Amino acid sequence: MSRAQRLLDLIQVLRRHRRAVSGTVLAEEIGVSLRTLYRDIETLRAQGAPIEGEAGVGYVLRPGFMLPPLMFSEEEIEALVLGSRWVSERADGPLGKAARNVLAKIGAVLPEDLKASVEASGLLIGPGEPIAAGDAELASIRQAIRSERKMQIAYADEHGNATDRIIWPIALAFYDRVRVVVAWCELRNGYRHFRTDRIMAFEVTARYPRRRVALFKEWRTIRNIPEQ
């Protein structure tokens, strides 16, 4: 186990305990000697971790602390790298650029032994279908979702028949070949899914009357989708 991983594990163990926990218990959970534990606690304190307590009394981590260089395990880094690479290849231009920036920021703050995991990750994204909607359209849809705005759309079904709809967009799903807007449809008075390649025109309008988080939770319940 790398030293950075050991310090991360110590932070995670301290987070699980709401009251002071003895050094002996911490050392046993981490799998290190008591002397190493005391040294690791001093290292974390020197880096700004608000760990209160002392030997013989116990230690507690004040809530709300995040230590950026030690936030991720090696597997968590691989998950971030894989996800960011997928987004950079399969999402719209602005979102892809943001994903590449995320990787750069992660690499900038990680310790050297973990930084190599980002640079040398063997998890790759294979070639896929080009996105169905243009960058500007997807970026505008994402903005409408974030700002909880209605969209007035001209939508064509699989037969090419067009209808005018007013929808409340709450999510954007990225599949390999299509992108789908999850929304409340005023015309159908219910939740519907709209492929972005069938939205022929749209305009972002006024705020919709309910909070997106409530609509999203309601949609998940109706669809029987477990929380992630």
In this chain, the answer to whether the domains covering 3-67 and 135-223 adopt an identical fold is: no
What was the pLDDT predicted at 115? Answer: 74
What was the pLDDT predicted at 126? Answer: 81
Q: What is the block-wise mean pLDDT of the chain (228 residues), using blocks of 10 residues?
A: 78 84 91 92 87 89 65 78 88 87 77 72 77 74 95 92 96 89 97 94 96 95 80
What was the pLDDT predicted at 39? Answer: 92
The CATH number assigned to the domain with range 135-223 reads: 2.30.30
What was the pLDDT predicted at 175? Answer: 86
Q: Which of 10, 130, 125 is nearest to 60 (CA)?
A: 10
Fold of 3-67: Arc Repressor Mutant, subunit A (1.10.10)
What was the pLDDT predicted at 167? Answer: 98
30: which 2 tokens?
Answer: 């981490």
What was the pLDDT predicted at 131? Answer: 65
Q: Domain segments of the chain: what residues?
A: 3-67, 74-119, 135-223
